[in-house]
Structure 1
């Protein structure tokens, strides 16, 4: 019994087509994997509860692919790089370090009442310098857990509801600083300031010897999974090549 085998078509042309198609498929796989990882890192930042909704840290993640777009050179080893333009901030939220004061014994953390608009990260209404210059008008109380102190300021010229732009607001004035403290027209906010007006002082700062930064990001975890993401994209792209 005699068997014969032959190759039909142009083998050279078929191999050249394969050589041309494979680098492009690998580049598409790398680009898709990079975009997936970048999107996950950005979503981590947006879901982390940061001051601005995580927009700044999310937008800091930039994706660069190689060869760069517009470069005609093809390669079987394309690459993608994802970097943050604020690596120190990302590292801090990833490692969650213990923060200690550079000078003095305590970190001064403004309370919600002492933050403009009550927003985290907002500028304090009464600064540390003003508290220091308030003399007897400012004093400290021990915290119940014994870890730090409450830095308080005496209130004067306390008033009830102030009409501002047609909206009722509770207000008081922080001692000799003359700084006006007020909150919105929500019942809970008004009750909070009313209680402090009645006792004659308000807590402006928490004095703590150290604070544990929150762990808000999981960059290392995403990095470990990136290999699986790339492998899946390569299987999909190479499997779609014409046989």
Structure 2
């Protein structure tokens, strides 16, 4: 004897299937977004823990993420991309291999005298008072000397000139200028005027350290985060699909 089974579907089957696909697509996108954010957070945390001078903030914030396709476009195959806006720096500290200047004789690193004060002063000069291009353009004012403390380091210097404060408050303040009209040593710390006088007597300021090669050492491990990314994605997708 053969049993018969009958089923009755109430409602619009196509609409029900479309709603199910839409729900799954949204869950998958949330999962990919969640996983991408976690991978980015792990990379940023790793970068901040490396001991960079600013706490790794600048390099950490260079890690970005994007989910594809654009928001509002539903798909069952979303993708997340995590990348850095500072690939050269990241690769150098990830690999830890020596960095050698190409096509130029030296690598240039700004000294403290060449650091613009505050984040607002960075602008298009990358936080520098004087850029390498401006150094090259200052004919007769820029020159290179070898460091006395470290013979492997050269100093790229600019001649310094004096100016006096124009306001009553700054009348006795020694103001130092390099290049055409770039003021340096603008802080107001104790002993600043004495230091300005010493630099004025010296006649020049080192604006860049010049080195033929640097070895940054390995501080990052991007591969370790990449290996964990698969598990992070799997857990995120499972969690979001279960929430539907």
The two structures have a TM-score, normalised by structure 1, of 0.61
Secondary structure of the corresponding residue to residue 165 of structure 2: strand
- Is the counterpart of residue 35 in structure 1 residue 37 in structure 2? yes
Match of 1:195 among 195, 198, 205: 198
Unaligned stretches of 5+ residues in structure 2: 11-15
Q: Deviations over 1:159-213 (max 9, x none)?
A: 6x63569557542344x86754342212265554343234443223322112345
The two structures have a TM-score, normalised by structure 2, of 0.61
Segment of structure 1 superposing worse, 111-120 or 222-231: 111-120
Q: Distance in 2 between matches of 1:165 and 1:115?
A: 27
Alignment of 1:62-73 (within 5 A): 62-65=65-68, 69-71=72-74
Q: Distance in 2 between matches of 1:197 and 1:101?
A: 32
Q: Deviations over 1:42-96 (max 9, x none)?
A: 66678864998458724xx23224697433x6x4xx342214484xx32531333
Are the counterparts in 2 of residues 169 and 185 from structure 1 also a CA contact under 8 Å? no
Are the counterparts in 1 of residues 115 and 129 from structure 2 also a CA contact under 8 Å? yes
Q: Which has the larger radius of gyration?
A: 1
Aligned length: 219
Are the counterparts in 1 of residues 110 and 128 from structure 2 also a CA contact under 8 Å? no
Are the counterparts in 1 of residues 92 and 99 from structure 2 also a CA contact under 8 Å? no
Distance of aligned partners of 1:220 and 1:55 in 2 relative to their CA distance in 1, 3 Å threshold:
closer
Are the counterparts in 2 of residues 94 and 216 from structure 1 also a CA contact under 8 Å? no
Q: Deviations over 1:120-152 (max 9, x none)?
A: 6424179322565238xx451334232122234
- Is the counterpart of residue 133 in structure 1 residue 143 in structure 2? no
Are the counterparts in 2 of residues 94 and 218 from structure 1 also a CA contact under 8 Å? no
Supply the RMSD in Å over aligned alpha carbons.
4.7
Residue of structure 1 in register with 2:113 after alignment? 113
Distance of aligned partners of 1:188 and 1:42 in 2 relative to their CA distance in 1, 3 Å threshold:
farther
Q: Distance in 1 between matches of 2:115 and 2:217?
A: 20
